[in-house]
Each structure stands twice: as structure tokens, then as C-alpha cells.
């Protein structure tokens, strides 16, 4: 075991074939707030692909991607105190017989190299008023480590070593003074190797190379006295309220606040298109990608002409349940001076489907001012909940969502392509850091994060919202549509999408033994059958569906990149007036 002192508070214990990568960044990073804007240093030229998406010719670097992620974490008071560059030697896996390949899943075939994974220990001295977590980036795959905090033992010098190594070991042993709290982390760093899989008796393509390089980002945050009451402090800096969608550049959509005033037609029924965003995110984070494709931008321009108002509603998704979000949204509709009841169409994404349904089924029926709901499109919505909302799966949700949001950004080349790049990625993961802080410091139960707990498939909110509500619309009163997808990592490998979803991430997804979604068809966040579960005892609400089927392209954070999504939105919402 080789001990390296990074600073007075951070020491690294190296074992196996892993070492500090001296050729990469080795200095402590500045606070996130001091980071410059994303700059690629390359000329970005835009061109149209055959599928209509706007391609970016600038290179996509992990450094630029990390800056976008770090911006989101900084907004949640997570400060980078160190970035530890690691690398491992190349491992050549032993040959595997064809008979064994035909009998075992691909993840089992990796067992010979998995056994060679190196474990890196990171010890961080923490003050009484702070806590730390680590975000490990390895070949484009992100994972959170929460560590364990305990008093530091009495300093003990490691076995004698020669020269500088002996001095470094001695300093490392003294970096944590006796009696100080120390957060201890065990990080697994995979060896450098080519990843090739076979499954179900078929020859699979090479997924790609795991380079054996990683960066462990040590993130510090303040420990608050009320930390155990997460709902009282998380998301406290989120600016809720009305978003005016006035063009294709999502960064230019103004937030008008919870009492936002917007021009309303003086006569007649105002036609309103409402966007309701998903978990961790915002209107920009969930829907900003529409402006990055030809079809999506065309849809936005047409919608702005077709409707009197095109709006979103920014809201907290972790600290409050969907019915509270719906109550706030209902209050806005009630505060406006409508000459006649507005006619509302909606696009509800992920958890936003529950917010919209609570508005329609629970809030508006008893409201003083009438609001007419005409059509709605549910995109990857958690109408029947998601298994990832169960407390035991929250850590998996934090890892999965961060990786999918990054993959969604890579899909349209927006890291670092368009100017909107950093904003979309940062806002798409706006609440992930808050979730991680709760996981690191609080008891993990339904009461800790009510906004997530509401999506538990067997929880009280999902049970209630899928029963008949007094005064709610019937299937003949509204026109509902759905967009769904069953993402398959094997298909992604065959389609060569490892530039978006790295080989290591696809390999992890293929391991059904650790599949929190229990192996059922899903988009990596929501089971397909849950996406269209709307009051099954009342009737069939979904009239038409765009189902991407089993594929290796459309995961939970990629719906609005697809031209087919924008085309369906146009047809369903605007073709019939």
C-alpha cells in the first residue's frame, strides 16, 4: 500500500495496479464559483445530419462536460476541494471458451478482469461543520461514493521507505490529527482493457476501450443543524414560477416568478401550451434540447405562433410532493384575469406527468375559475411511479440520472457545442447534488425526500392519483397521448452508441442482477407499463402512442432529441386546431 498526501486534509491509499496520473491535473481545483465559462478552444461549425439533428464539429471533452456538471453542484453548495487523477495498467483478459460464452451473460464473462479492479482508499479530514462526498468519473461514467465518517486513529507512521517515499508516507500518516473526524472512501478503479461482450449465444461487437483513467472529485458541503429534516432546506435556492417560452433558445426563456404576469388576450379563450418538467430539473433542463434539432426548433416556432401563451412552470421536485406543485400552479391560473376560461394543452415529462395530473384531477375541479384542459402528451412519465423512487434505490437513481443527463447532452453534441450546452446539462441535474447530500447525512426513508417518495409505485400518492377523483375529466373529456421507450444496452452496443453511453456504463446496465427496475421494459428510469398507467379503473385515457419500442437509442434523457418526438407533438397538439 502506497500512501500519497494530496493536502493537509486529503490522503490517498494506492493498491494493486492503480497510481496517481502525474500527466493529468494534480492540483486542487478552484471553487466552482470561480470557474470560467465553458470554452473549447475549437471553432464550432454546425451541419445537418441525415436525421435532421444539428451536429457539432467541435470536440466533446470530459473537462468541458465536468465544468457543466460542477456548475450544477456548485449551485447546490457542493464545492470541489480536490480532483485526484488516477490510472491503471492495461489488462489483457484471458480467452473464454465459446461454450462458456454461450452459457453465461456478458457481465459474468468479465469476472476475470473484474477481479483485477484496484481499490483506492481516500481519507478526508472533515470539520464539525462540514461533510464530504466523492464523485468518481471513470472513462465518462459517473458514480457517487458516500464514504463513512469516524474519528481518526492516532497517527501511525507506515513501514520505513527510502527517500522521498518514506517522507511522503510519514506526512500522510500525520495528515489527520488524533480526534479529528475522517471520511473514508473505498473507490474501485477498473483496469485498462478492451470490452467485448457475447450474450444469448450471439457474437457481440466490441463495446469500446476502458482506458483505466479516472478522476475522483472530492466535494465538500456545509453540515446544517437541520440536516435530518431534508425537506426544510433542500432546493431552498430554486426560483419557482412561470417560464415564458418565447423562442428556440432555452437560455433566453425568462423566469417571471410565482406571481408572473404575462400578456393575455383581452377577449375570447386564451390558448395555452404548458410544459411541466421532470425530477431534479427545470423547464430549460427538461425541454431545452428541443431547440437543438431542426424538427424541435420548428415545433417551438409553430407552437409560439399557434398558441397565445407558451409557458413552463419551474418547481421543486424533491422537497415537496407533486400535489403541492400542482396547487402552486393552480394558484397561478386562478390569479390571472382570463376574459374566458383558458384552453390548455400540455407536455408533461417524467415526474411532471404527476404534477399535471394532480392539477387536472385534484386541483382544478374545485377551483373558482374554470380552466379547460384539452390535450396532453405524457413523455416518459411516472404515471404508475418508478422503482427508482423507493428509498433503497435512491443511490442508484443519483448515479443513473447523472449519467443519462450527460449522455443526453452528448447525443446532440451540446458539450461543448451550442451556447445552451452547459445550461441544459446543469439544469437537467439541478437536484442530484441535493439528493446525494441527503443520502450522505440523513436517514433514508420516505419522509426524507417527499418529492421522490411520491413516485413510489406502491406508495400512497401513486395509489391515490390512480383512483377516480371527484370532478375529474373522463377519457371522453380529454385527449391524452404518450411517448414511451424500452432502452436495451445490447442494442446500444450494436448501434455503436458508446460515444454517448460509455462502454463501462453499458456493461453495468447489462447486469440484470443489479437492475433496480427488475428487468421489465424501461427507459432506464421508468418502466414502460407505468408510463401509460392513468386511472385504470376509470377507462382508457391514452388515445395514441409513439412507442420507440426496444432500441438502443432512446433512454429517459433522450426523448426530446428525437425528430419523431417533435413531429408527434406537432401532429397531436396543433394539426386539429
Q: Give the Cα separation of 147 and 504 in Å (integer).
A: 22
| CB 277 within 8 Å of CB 349 | yes
Same domain for 395 and 534, yes or no, is yes
Question: Is 227 inside a domain boundary?
Answer: no
Same domain for 324 and 199, yes or no, is no
Q: Give the Cα separation of 485 and 429 in Å (integer).
A: 21
Same domain for 214 and 253, yes or no, is no
In sequence order, which ranges of 161-250 are alpha helices (DSSP H)?
Answer: 163-174
Same domain for 430 and 397, yes or no, is yes
End-of-domain residue from the set 189, 222, 255: 222
Cell digits of residue 172: 500522510
Q: What is the pLDDT of residues 170-188, one digit of tens each?
A: 544 455 555 688 999 999 9
Q: From its phi and psi, is residue 489 left (phi > 0), alpha (psi between -120 and 50) or beta?
A: alpha
Same domain for 254 and 397, yes or no, is yes
Same domain for 171 and 276, yes or no, is no
Residue 280 has a CB neighbour count (10 Å cut-off) of: 29
CA distance readout (Å), 249 to 15, 83, 87, 296: 48, 33, 39, 11
39 Cβ contact partners less than 8 Å away, ≥ 6 residues apart = 64, 416
CA distance readout (Å), 299 to 4, 215, 263, 480: 55, 40, 22, 19
- Of 83-87, 418-422, 570-574, the one with minimum mean pLDDT is 418-422
577 Cβ contact partners less than 8 Å away, ≥ 6 residues apart = none
Question: Is 28 inside a domain boundary?
Answer: yes
- Residue 107's pLDDT is 40
| CB 434 within 8 Å of CB 318 | yes
Signed CA dihedral, 461, 437, 231, 74: sign only: negative
- Residue, of 313 and 199, whose pLDDT is higher: 313
Same domain for 528 and 388, yes or no, is yes
Angle among Cα 373, 374, 380 to the nearest 5 degrees reads: 90
Q: Give the Cα separation of 486 and 488 in Å (integer).
A: 6
Residue 463 pLDDT exceeds 50: yes
CATH of the domain at 537: 3.40.50.1820
End-of-domain residue from the set 198, 222, 246: 222
Question: Is 390 inside a domain boundary?
Answer: yes
Angle among Cα 301, 555, 248 to the nearest 5 degrees reads: 15
Global confidence as pTM:
0.85
Cell digits of residue 331: 394558484
- The stretch 385-403 carries a mean pLDDT of 94
- Residue 492's pLDDT is 86
Residue 390 pLDDT exceeds 70: yes
Phi, psi of 151 (to 5 degrees): -60, 145
Question: Is 399 inside a domain boundary?
Answer: yes
Same domain for 190 and 314, yes or no, is no
Q: Give the Cα separation of 245 and 254 in Å (integer).
A: 8
Residue 154 pLDDT exceeds 60: no
Same domain for 186 and 218, yes or no, is yes
Rounded CA Rg of the chain: 25
Q: Give the Cα separation of 558 and 482 in Å (integer).
A: 15
- Structural domains in the chain (count): 2
DSSP 383: T
Q: What is the pLDDT of residues 413-444, one digit of tens each?
A: 754 445 576 778 989 998 999 999 989 887 77
Q: Give the Cα separation of 65 and 416 in Å (integer).
A: 7
In sequence order, which ranges of 228-320 are alpha helices (DSSP H)?
Answer: 283-287, 294-306
Question: Is 287 inside a domain boundary?
Answer: yes
End-of-domain residue from the set 169, 197, 222: 222
H or E, element range at 138? strand 130-138
- Residue 177's pLDDT is 55
Same domain for 427 and 312, yes or no, is yes
Q: Where does the pLDDT of residue 234 fall: very low under 50, low under 70, confident under 90, or very high at 90 and above?
A: confident
Question: Is 69 inside a domain boundary?
Answer: yes
Q: What is the pLDDT of residues 285-294, one digit of tens each?
A: 999 999 988 9
H or E, element range at 235? none
- Of 12-26, 29-43, 513-527, the one with minimum mean pLDDT is 29-43
Question: Is 228 inside a domain boundary?
Answer: no
Same domain for 301 and 269, yes or no, is yes
- Residue, of 491 and 46, whose pLDDT is higher: 491
Domain with 62, as residue range(s), is 2-222
- Residue 95's pLDDT is 54
Cell digits of residue 492: 446500444
| CB 177 within 8 Å of CB 155 | yes
498 Cβ contact partners less than 8 Å away, ≥ 6 residues apart = 207, 208, 492, 506
- Residue, of 65 and 206, whose pLDDT is higher: 65
437 Cβ contact partners less than 8 Å away, ≥ 6 residues apart = 76, 78, 131, 133, 221, 227, 234
Same domain for 271 and 337, yes or no, is yes
Mean pLDDT score of the chain, rounded to an integer? Answer: 81
Question: Is 71 inside a domain boundary?
Answer: yes
| CB 398 within 8 Å of CB 435 | yes
Residue 32 pLDDT exceeds 60: no
Q: Give the Cα separation of 465 and 358 in Å (integer).
A: 7
Amino acid at each position: 500500500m502506497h500512501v500519497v498526501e494530496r493536502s493537509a486534509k486529503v490522503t490517498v491509499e494506492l493498491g494493486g495496479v492503480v497510481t496517481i496520473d502525474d500527466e493529468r491535473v494534480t492540483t486542487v481545483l478552484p471553487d466552482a464559483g470561480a470557474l470560467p465559462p465553458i470554452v473549447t478552444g475549437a471553432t464550432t461549425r454546425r451541419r445537418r445530419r441525415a436525421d435532421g439533428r444539428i451536429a457539432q464539429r467541435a470536440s466533446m471533452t470530459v473537462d468541458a462536460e465536468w465544468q457543466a456538471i460542477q456548475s450544477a453542484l456548485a449551485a447546490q453548495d457542493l464545492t470541489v476541494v480536490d480532483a485526484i487523477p488516477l490510472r491503471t495498467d492495461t489488462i489483457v483478459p484471458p480467452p473464454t471458451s465459446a461454450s462458456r460464452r454461450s452459457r453465461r451473460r456478458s457481465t459474468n464473462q468479465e469476472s476475470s478482469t473484474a477481479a483485477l479492479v484496484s481499490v483506492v482508499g481516500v481519507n478526508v479530514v472533515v470539520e464539525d461543520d462540514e461533510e464530504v462526498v466523492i464523485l468518481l468519473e471513470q472513462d465518462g461514467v459517473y458514480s457517487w461514493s458516500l464514504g463513512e465518517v469516524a474519528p481518526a486513529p492516532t497517527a501511525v507512521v507506515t513501514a520505513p521507505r527510502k527517500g522521498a517515499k518514506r517522507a511522503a508516507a510519514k506526512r500522510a500518516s500525520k495528515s489527520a490529527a488524533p480526534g479529528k473526524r475522517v471520511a473514508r472512501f473505498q473507490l474501485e478503479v477498473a483496469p485498462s482493457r478492451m470490452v467485448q461482450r457475447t450474450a444469448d449465444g450471439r457474437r457481440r461487437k466490441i463495446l469500446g476501450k476502458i482506458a483505466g483513467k479516472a478522476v475522483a472529485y472530492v466535494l465538500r458541503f456545509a453540515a446544517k443543524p437541520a440536516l435530518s429534516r431534508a425537506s426544510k432546506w433542500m432546493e431552498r435556492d430554486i426560483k419557482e414560477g412561470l417560464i415564458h417560452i418565447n423562442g428556440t433558445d432555452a437560455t433566453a426563456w425568462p423566469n417571471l416568478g410565482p406571481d408572473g404576469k404575462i400578456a393575455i388576450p383581452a377577449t375570447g379563450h386564451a390558448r395555452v401550451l404548458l410544459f411541466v418538467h421532470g425530477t431534479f430539473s427545470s423547464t430549460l433542463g427538461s425541454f431545452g434540447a428541443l431547440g437543438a434539432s431542426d424538427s424541435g426548433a420548428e415545433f417551438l416556432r409553430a407552437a409560439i405562433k399557434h398558441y397565445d401563451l407558451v409557458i413552463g412552470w419551474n418547481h421543486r421536485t424533491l422537497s415537496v410532493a407533486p400535489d403541492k406543485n400542482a396547487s402552486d400552479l393552480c394558484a397561478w391560473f386562478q390569479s390571472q384575469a382570463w376574459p374566458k376560461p383558458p384552453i390548455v394543452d400540455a407536455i408533461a415529462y417524467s415526474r411532471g406527468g404527476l404534477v399535471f395530473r394532480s392539477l387536472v384531477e385534484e386541483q382544478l375541479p374545485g377551483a373558482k375559475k374554470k380552466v379547460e384542459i384539452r390535450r396532453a402528451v405524457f413523455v416518459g412519465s411516472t404515471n404508475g411511479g418508478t422503482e427508482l423512487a423507493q428509498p433503497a434505490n435512491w443511490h442508484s437513481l443519483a448515479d443513473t440520472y447523472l449519467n443519462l443527463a450527460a449522455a443526453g447532452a452528448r447525443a446532440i453534441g451540446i458539450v461543448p457545442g451550442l451556447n445552451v450546452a452547459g445550461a441544459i446539462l446543469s439544469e437537467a441535474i439541478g437536484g442530484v447534488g441535493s439528493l446525494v447530500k441527503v443520502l450522505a447525512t440523513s436517514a433514508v426513508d420516505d419522509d426524507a425526500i417527499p418529492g421522490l417518495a411520491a413516485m413510489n409505485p406502491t406508495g400512497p400518492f401513486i395509489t391515490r392519483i390512480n383512483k377516480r377523483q371527484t370532478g375529474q375529466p373522463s377519457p371522453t373529456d380529454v385527449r391524452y397521448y404518450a411517448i414511451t421507450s424500452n432502452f436495451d444496452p445490447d442494442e446500444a452496443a450494436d448501434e455503436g452508441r458508446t460515444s454517448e453511453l460509455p462502454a463501462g456504463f453499458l456493461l453495468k446496465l447489462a447486469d440484470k442482477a443489479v437492475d433496480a427496475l427488475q428487468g421489465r421494459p424501461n427507459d432506464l428510469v421508468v418502466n414502460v407499463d407505468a408510463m401509460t398507467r392513468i386511472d385504470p379503473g376509470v377507462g382508457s385515457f391514452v388515445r395514441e402512442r409513439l412507442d420507440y419500442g426496444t432500441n438502443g437509442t432512446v433512454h429517459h434523457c433522450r426523448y426530446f432529441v428525437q425528430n419523431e418526438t417533435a413531429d408527434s407533438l406537432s401532429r397531436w397538439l396543433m394539426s386539429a386546431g
